[in-house]
């Protein structure tokens, strides 16, 4: 049974721990880490059967088989390379960190050299399987349009740098249009789906991203569109935000649990 360490004890991390604790994911929860003692204590108090330890990330990397990152792009940049260099597998949720081509190349090289796997769940969007298939031929255009309530965008660096005051927005407004490479930097906690789509399709510099601030909705809505030799794909998903964090869609947590089930289950469906 594989030993899992979780970095980041927010909504997604707590859902992962609960799924392992309940036996829904057939793995052992060895340890957890978060900068917040309160969040770690809340998870430990909620678990019934598993008894994970509070561990520094370095200890998780040393003693676990798989590290699940549910924290931030900064955590990916800090811990992913050391993990794969020690031959450990890594599951990355803050996929925007991979927009850095030098970091991405180094991570891929070290993972291959040390026989490690890097897992990237589909997150809060659907259609990544079809997009990957379409990319086997020519893809001429890929875009992601994200529509979020104001609470889901608050505090984003792009808004601060461009003096965009969400309090002044009373109707849906396009606040960003550009390439995914810029979107994941300007909105590091909001548009990881754009990074995942970029990796599946035409890359960070060719994927078009539009972000709409919409005070009239409560859902996080993502629309994926692609054109290529395969034809035309258009898919919309309306996500319920997590109860604890409006920046995170509930489906993102479920996609991690699904990915862990796939890794630990001998029967593979939809590969």
Q: Where are the alpha helices (DSSP H) in 70-191?
A: 73-85, 101-113, 128-134, 157-161, 180-186
Average pLDDT estimate for 54-77: 97
Tokens standing for residue 180: 């995914």
pLDDT > 80? residue 268: no
Average pLDDT estimate for 62-71: 97
pLDDT > 70? residue 270: no
Residue 234: per-residue pLDDT: 96
Position of tokens 């609960």? 18
pLDDT > 70? residue 120: yes
Residue pair 6/68 in contact by the 8 Å Cβ criterion: yes
Arithmetic mean of pLDDT over the chain: 95
Nearest Cα to 78, choosing from 66, 69, 88? 69
Please give the Cα distance from 96 to 190 (Å, whole number): 10
Hey, which residues are catalytic here?
222
Residue pair 66/89 in contact by the 8 Å Cβ criterion: yes
pLDDT > 90? residue 247: no
Residue 51: per-residue pLDDT: 80
pTM, entire model: 0.93
């Amino acid at each position: 049974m594989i030993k899992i360490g979780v970095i980041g004890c927010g909504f997604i991390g707590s859902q992962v721990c609960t799924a392992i604790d309940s036996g829904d994911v057939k793995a052992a929860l060895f340890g957890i880490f978060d900068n917040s003692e309160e969040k770690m204590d809340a998870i430990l108090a909620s678990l019934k059967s598993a008894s994970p330890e509070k561990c520094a990330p370095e200890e998780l990397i040393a003693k676990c088989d798989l590290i699940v990152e549910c924290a931030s792009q900064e955590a990916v940049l800090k811990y992913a390379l050391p993990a794969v260099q020690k031959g450990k597998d890594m599951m990355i949720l803050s996929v925007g960190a991979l927009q850095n081509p030098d970091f991405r190349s180094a991570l891929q090289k070290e993972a291959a050299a040390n026989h490690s796997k890097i897992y990237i769940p589909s997150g809060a969007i659907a259609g990544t399987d079809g997009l990957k298939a379409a990319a086997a031929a020519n893809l001429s255009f890929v875009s992601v349009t994200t529509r979020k309530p104001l609470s889901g965008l608050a505090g984003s660096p792009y808004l601060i740098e461009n003096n965009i005051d969400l309090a002044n927005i009373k109707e849906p407004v396009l606040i960003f249009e550009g390439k995914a490479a810029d979107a994941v930097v300007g909105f590091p906690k909001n548009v990881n789906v754009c990074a995942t789509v970029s990796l599946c399709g035409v890359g960070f510099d060719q994927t078009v991203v539009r972000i709409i601030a919409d005070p009239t909705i409560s859902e996080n809505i993502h629309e994926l569109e692609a054109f290529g030799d395969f034809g035309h794909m258009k898919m919309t998903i309306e996500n319920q935000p997590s109860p604890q964090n409006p920046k995170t869609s509930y489906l993102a947590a479920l996609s991690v649990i699904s990915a862990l089930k796939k890794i630990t289950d001998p029967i593979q469906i939809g590969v």
